[in-house]
Structure 1
Amino acid sequence: MFDVSSDRPARQPALFLPHGGGPCFFMDDPRDIWTNMGAFLRAVPDMLPARPRAILIASGHWETKGFAFTGADEPSLIYDYYNFPAHTYALRYDVPGAPELAARAADLLAGAGLAAHVDPARGLDHGVFVPLKVAFPDAAIPVVEMSVERTLDPARAIEAGRALSPLRDEGVLIIGSGMSFHNMRGYGDPRSTAPSVAFDRWLTDAVRQPGPDRARSLAAWEEAPAARFAHPKAEHLLPLMVAAGAGDDAPGEKIYGEQVLETAISGFRFG
């Protein structure tokens, strides 16, 4: 159980993590496409000041009117990927939920004038359980999933992250789970490399700005080079906005980067 009244532990950062392609880390990978990304995710616990008391993770695979948080005591899994091997639909991640944290998060957003609610029935989609199963395989840390608002307004996502930032002082690790490049038609095409690199360089420069400047740059992400090629729809980028908003005013940092399926993919840390 997540107890908001207990003594404050070490302040946690906010992270933006790539979640890969479907259940990719639990399949044969003869070309080592996902090897380095998997190794990065496994190293996440070593990047933290202490084991988190809970994880709040925004997923690009859940869009709602306003923002929403999972409130189940024992969240189910949503296998929202298609045409993968049968064993990937039997994956388990029996992590505890944290209804108290979900309620507190919704209250923080409401206090900032943002619509938010707790969904007691919603399970965890693969943007949550796949990367967390790699990073925290013991499934012992309580998890709450956060949706992205279906308007996909980057400024509101940043504002939501800012409202949630006090949770970091309560030992909550805030994660944005998405992909810094997400154009399904562009993956695996050598013609995607140059525009994806251009967008990645812009994104990295934006992240490395101090908080107020970072927020302004990220809110205007569509002005970046190859922006709409990198993200024909922004749902996989919005979790980064949440993490960036939850970060300190200090510059963010790039903590992962490589070319995957001919495209530049990155991960970032804030605070």
Structure 2
Amino acid sequence: MNTDHFPPLFLSHGSPMTALEPREAGAFMHKLGRVLDTGLGRPRAVLMISAHTSAKQVLLLGGLQHQAIYDFGGFADQLRTLRYDANGAPDLAEEIVALTRHAAQSIQLTEQSGLDHGAWVPLRYLYPDADVPVLPLAFVANASPAQQFALGQMLAPLAQSGVLIIASGSITHNLGLVFGQGRPPAIDAPEIEASRVFRNWWLERSAARDWQALLDYRAQAPFGIAMHPTDEHLLPWFITAGAGGVEAAPHRLHSSLTFGSLGMDAYAFGPATPRLVQALATNQSAAAILPAMRV
């Protein structure tokens, strides 16, 4: 079954260790994958936008096959044994390039391939068999939230034609708070005030469709800069928000935390969101048994 309409998604991916230590966010992503399959159907492909893949211009990685890239250091060696081998989608890549050919932010196509950990960690939970084609999209990390939103608006027709658009980043991302003191806080440490206030503000402004405040969050959000000293992990949120459109309020699907300040929230966008929310509600049990991670 493929209902053609998929809500664009923003998933906070956390550290690479999320692949081995799923906690609440990993359990949610596993459940989300099962609910997407049974409630909305299989997408033609996943257009994957990760905070860790950026370029000087918007770039679509159109390789025939993608593999996991281990773009990190200092974590468990076992992470480098985890694989994610997914097919690309060359025909769809050509469609996307044509879609934006005359736009202000035209997308360029490259035959490069690869999935950074911001992509393959969530995808291993959503589609553990790597049986959905993937197209990674490199965004411009120094473009403004408004420019990212406009890029998402150009991509909106894809969400209505069987493509699942996923942005991966982090709803809060100040690694100085996590690693700056030499030893990180406990993974289940209580949430610090700045993180709590910022995440609540983001939820409230999203529910109100206050796009002006959200796009200007660095000036208007409490603790906005403290929670995002650099904003590359939040900018993908605006791409999926643009793909969902201004009429439907962004909906928070999941909320959890690691290390007291690293938010793991997930959002859905666009008119197909209510169907996903309903499907999740009818499957209240958290993913019962997480799949064994293939090596």
TM-score band w.r.t. shorter chain: 0.7 to 0.9
Counterpart residue number, 1:67: 58
The match for 1:141 among 125, 132, 139 is 132
Counterpart residue number, 1:11: 5
1:232 aligns with 2:229: yes
Kept after mapping to 1: 8 A contact 2:3/2:40? no
Between 1:117-126 and 1:170-179, the stretch displaced more is 117-126
1:22 aligns with 2:19: no
Q: How far 1:241 moved relative to its partner?
A: 0.5
Equivalent position amino acid for 1:58 in 2: I
Q: Aligned equivalents of 2:53 and 2:139: distance in 1?
A: 6
1:1-271 equivalent positions in 2, closer than 5 A? 9-26=3-20, 29=21, 34-45=22-33, 46-47=35-36, 49-187=40-178, 188=184, 193-210=192-209, 213-214=210-211, 216-223=212-219, 224-248=221-245, 249-263=247-261, 264-271=263-270
**SS of aligned partner of 2:176:** coil
Kept after mapping to 2: 8 A contact 1:152/1:234? no
Q: Residue by residue, what CA displacement relative to the aligned partner does 1:71-110 show, whole Å, maximum 9, x if unpaired?
A: 0011232110112222211211111001222232233333
Superposition CA RMSD, Å: 1.9
**SS of aligned partner of 1:175:** strand
> Percent same amino acid among aligned pairs?
32
**SS of aligned partner of 1:110:** coil
Kept after mapping to 1: 8 A contact 2:240/2:269? yes
Equivalent position amino acid for 2:149 in 1: I
Counterpart residue number, 2:293: none
Kept after mapping to 2: 8 A contact 1:23/1:88? yes
C-alpha change, 1:35 and 1:191, in structure 2 (3 Å) is: closer
Equivalent position amino acid for 1:194 in 2: E
Q: Which structure has the highest strand share of the two? A: 1
TM-score (norm 2): 0.81
**SS of aligned partner of 1:138:** coil
In structure 2, runs of 5+ residues without a counterpart are 179-183, 271-295
Q: How far 1:170 moved relative to its partner?
A: 1.2
TM-score (norm 1): 0.88
Q: Aligned equivalents of 2:191 and 2:138: distance in 1?
A: 29
Q: Aligned equivalents of 2:99 and 2:129: distance in 1?
A: 29
Q: How far 1:152 moved relative to its partner?
A: 3.4
Equivalent position amino acid for 2:99 in 1: L
C-alpha change, 1:267 and 1:89, in structure 2 (3 Å) is: same
Between 1:164-173 and 1:42-51, the stretch displaced more is 42-51
Between 1:148-157 and 1:171-180, the stretch displaced more is 148-157
Q: How far 1:122 moved relative to its partner?
A: 3.3
Counterpart residue number, 2:274: none
Q: Aligned equivalents of 2:84 and 2:240: distance in 1?
A: 23
